[in-house]
Amino acid sequence: MAKSKQSEYHSEDPNELFSSNVERMLRLIGEDPKREGLLKTPQRVTRAWKELTSGYEADLDSLINRAVFHETYNEMVVVKDIRFYSMCEHHLLPFFGTVHVAYIPNGKIIGLSKIPKLVDVFAKRLQVQERLTKEIATTLQNKLHPMGVGVVIKARHLCMEMRGVQSEDSPTITSAMLGAFRNDARTRKEFLSFIQGDR
């Protein structure tokens, strides 16, 4: 698991500890971790969770700083339909959907491929959709100091669809509007028109 967590386990290997806890969980739900189909499940789950939570180890400064360029362009930049998958911190079940990101440069632009990578870094942590939305927006705001940033996320939550109310076809939409996107209704409307249509 995350290297920063290793000190919490002293001399124990975090991967082995995680696998042993998965095996214990299997027993607690009434399964036999020694049956053929489950023999390697603890190790598989450990590897899967290492990937699903890899955002904790990411170096945001390294990711972003090397891809920021000085440019006089000052019109809206929109990257839409970024697919993401994350884990809800309340039930450890997936939520997933699309992210739309826009910003208006103020002397600096960022390499376009870095925006989906930024989304991925924050998505690969235990999350709630509201915080994920805000983290993407504030990071771009702090790193680029643009005239404004807009982020909209539409997602399905399996904690709603698989358990509890079992509400299907009820996506959750969140937004974060900073700078011009918050203060100027026309800018906000233009962004929303881009992500709702095929312009």
The whole-number pLDDT of residue 55 equals 97
The answer to whether residue 11 scores a pLDDT higher than 60 is no
Radius of gyration of the chain (CA): 20
Pick the CATH number of 61-196 from 3.30.450.40, 3.30.1130.10, 1.10.10.10, 3.40.50.11720: 3.30.1130.10
What pLDDT sits at residue 117?
A: 97
Asked if pLDDT for residue 57 goes beyond 60, the answer is: yes
pLDDT of residue 65: 86
Confidence band for 199, pLDDT divided at 50, 70 and 90 = very low
- The pLDDT-based confidence of 183 (bands split at 50, 70, 90) is very high
From the candidates 8, 16, 71, 90, give the one annotated as an active-site residue.
Answer: 90
Please say if 16 is a catalytic residue: no
Contact 123, 105 (CB under 8 A): no
Active site residue 91: yes
Catalytically annotated residue among 23, 127, 129, 135: 129
CB-side exposure of 173: number of CA atoms within 13 Å?
7
pLDDT at 99: 98
pLDDT (tens digit per residue) in 130-172: 999 999 999 999 999 999 999 999 999 999 898 877 777 789 9
The answer to whether residue 100 is catalytic is: no
129 is catalytic: yes
**Between residues 137 and 7, the one the model is more confident about:** 137
Average pLDDT in the 29-43 region?
A: 97
How many angstroms separate the CA atoms of 176 and 134, rounded?
Answer: 6
Q: What is the DSSP letter of 187?
A: H
Say whether 88 is catalytic: yes
State whether CATH 3.40.50.10310 applies to domain 3-52. Answer: no
For the chain, the structural domain boundaries read 3-52, 61-196
One of 23, 127, 135, 157 is an active-site residue; which one?
Answer: 157
Residue 87 and residue 6: Cα distance in Å, rounded? 22
Confirm whether 6 is a catalytic residue. no
In the residue annotation, 145 being an active-site residue is answered as no
Out of 89, 130, 145, 196, the active site residue is 89
Check whether 95 has a pLDDT greater than 60: yes
pLDDT value of position 192: 97
pLDDT for the residue numbered 1? 58
Q: Greater confidence, 85 or 196?
A: 85
Mean of the pLDDT values across residues 100-125?
98
